[in-house]
Amino acid sequence: MKGRRWTINGDFLGLAPNGVRRYASEITLALDGLIKDRHELTENLEIELISPVPPHEDVPLDRIGFRWVKEFNKPRLPQFWVQTQLPFYINGGLLSFCNLAPVITRKQIVCIHDLQSKLMPESYGLGNRLADLLILPLLGSRCAMITTVSEFSRQQLVESGIASPSRIHVTYNGADHAMRWLPENGTLDLDSVRPFVICLGRPQKYKNTDLFWKIADDLDAIGIDILMAGDMKETNLDTLGSRRPTNLCFLGRIGDDEFAQALTKAVCFLLPSRMEGFGLPAVEAMALGCPVVASTSPCLPEVCGDAALYADPDDLPAWVSAIERLKNDRKLRSSLIDAGRSRARDFSWRCIAEDYLRLMLRIDAEPTP
């Protein structure tokens, strides 16, 4: 096959460091590595990343080219760069890893991570909901292929009429990036806390962050503290309860090394969401040998399998019981750590990048419409 050209939608470089940004960054790095290794699926393939922001040091590229297309100063609106500027610079096919993408581009693979803005609208602003409502159906009907991160998300995309099952490919997420984190470089002072659980606080309602307030007193009674990291402002914290539990320590946003430091010392990691597209922090915890207690809500049982303990997001005693078991039962804890590490090895960014290369090859082989 003659030379093939693809572009990566680099809009993700301007996003806050969240799970969607992680997905895009890690797949881009994995694609770069596969090209460098001369993987057979990269034969005659040239990829360029086009971004509205300068290159980031956390996405160092060796074989993938980089082009900075500055965003217009006015109007500076959500999706303006993606919809009106990026399409003029695409050469060949387009890879878009972060839900929204230019609707004018047909030769395109778009990852739609979930439909949270539709299923849990109270967690999102009007702008986000409208963008998803207008753009996602157009992408589903026009682009060559949709990817998503779980069978649950795939089912939701089908039921919502975004695309037919045959045009949606499940990639999941990887977990191996967590092995690059260095817990010994973490700067958290963990000497002054009792045995603790680690969790992530988020302002979105579906994240069920108020559960940590509700179980705090019961955990305090059995000698357990709660360390909560994440993007929560003081105003968000004030809405979760009139009194902040004395055994809850809010860390704010922490770096990867600090998160790894906490995971390697915690009794367990808690993920009580009412819904997730994938639930990346759970497999990150597993990769680092931290037991996981996860919600029974979709799609966490699909992702975690038998390598986690589960509790209904509203069953407070079940959460406390699971944590207490992991604190006191060394055999259970050891078996869950082993199962978690084994489960995490099933999620590889390199394998996901190979999936994308196969999809790209299939699309390149199809006749131009």
Q: How confident is the model at residue 270 (pLDDT cuts 50, 70, 90)?
A: very high
Residue given tokens 């069978």 in the structure block: 151
The mean of the pLDDT values for the chain is 92
Task: Clarify whether residues 182 and 195 are in a common domain.
Answer: yes
Task: Give the pLDDT confidence score for residue 72 in this predicted structure.
Answer: 85
* Contact between 295 and 312 (Cβ < 8 Å): yes
Provide the 8-state DSSP code for 53. S
d(CA 288, CA 340): 9
Task: Clarify whether residues 99 and 221 are in a common domain.
Answer: no
pLDDT digits (tens, 9 = 90+) for 78-96: 688 999 999 999 989 999 9
Task: Give the pLDDT confidence score for residue 209 in this predicted structure.
Answer: 92
Task: Clarify whether residues 256 and 299 are in a common domain.
Answer: yes
State the pTM of this model.
0.93
Q: Over 60: is that where the pLDDT of 54 sits?
A: yes
- Both tokens assigned to 288: 């680092």
Task: Clarify whether residues 244 and 340 are in a common domain.
Answer: yes
Task: Clarify whether residues 282 and 296 are in a common domain.
Answer: yes
Domain that holds residue 115: 4-174+348-365
Q: How confident is the model at residue 74 (pLDDT cuts 50, 70, 90)?
A: low
Task: Clarify whether residues 184 and 262 are in a common domain.
Answer: yes
* Contact between 91 and 7 (Cβ < 8 Å): yes
Q: How confident is the model at residue 130 (pLDDT cuts 50, 70, 90)?
A: confident
d(CA 192, CA 245): 17
d(CA 278, CA 284): 12
End-to-end CA distance of the chain: 18
CATH (domain of 219): 3.40.50.2000
Q: Over 80: is that where the pLDDT of 239 sits?
A: no
Question: What is the mean predicted confidence (pLDDT) over 207-223?
Answer: 95
Task: Clarify whether residues 130 and 212 are in a common domain.
Answer: no
Task: Clarify whether residues 168 and 259 are in a common domain.
Answer: no
H/E element, 225:
strand 225-229
State the CB neighbour count (10 A cutoff) for residue 184.
Answer: 9
Provide the 8-state DSSP code for 62. S
d(CA 169, CA 110): 10
Domains contained in the chain, number: 2
| pLDDT over 70, % of the chain | 93
Task: Clarify whether residues 14 and 123 are in a common domain.
Answer: yes
Pick 134 or 183 by higher pLDDT. Answer: 183
Q: Please provide the DSSP assignment of 113-158 as one string.
A: ---HHHHSGGGS-HHHHHHHHHHHHHHHHHSSEEEESSHHHHHHHH
Task: Give the pLDDT confidence score for residue 299 in this predicted structure.
Answer: 93
Q: How confident is the model at residue 218 (pLDDT cuts 50, 70, 90)?
A: very high
Task: Clarify whether residues 164 and 185 are in a common domain.
Answer: no
Nearest 5 degrees, angle CA 46-CA 47-CA 48? 130
H/E element, 66:
strand 65-68
Q: Over 80: is that where the pLDDT of 73 sits?
A: no
Q: How confident is the model at residue 203 (pLDDT cuts 50, 70, 90)?
A: confident
pLDDT digits (tens, 9 = 90+) for 312-358: 999 999 999 999 999 999 999 999 999 999 999 999 999 999 999 99
d(CA 169, CA 348): 16
Task: Give the pLDDT confidence score for residue 368 in this predicted structure.
Answer: 61
Q: Over 60: is that where the pLDDT of 1 sits?
A: no
Task: Clarify whether residues 59 and 73 are in a common domain.
Answer: yes
pLDDT digits (tens, 9 = 90+) for 4-20: 999 999 999 988 888 89
Task: Clarify whether residues 70 and 198 are in a common domain.
Answer: no
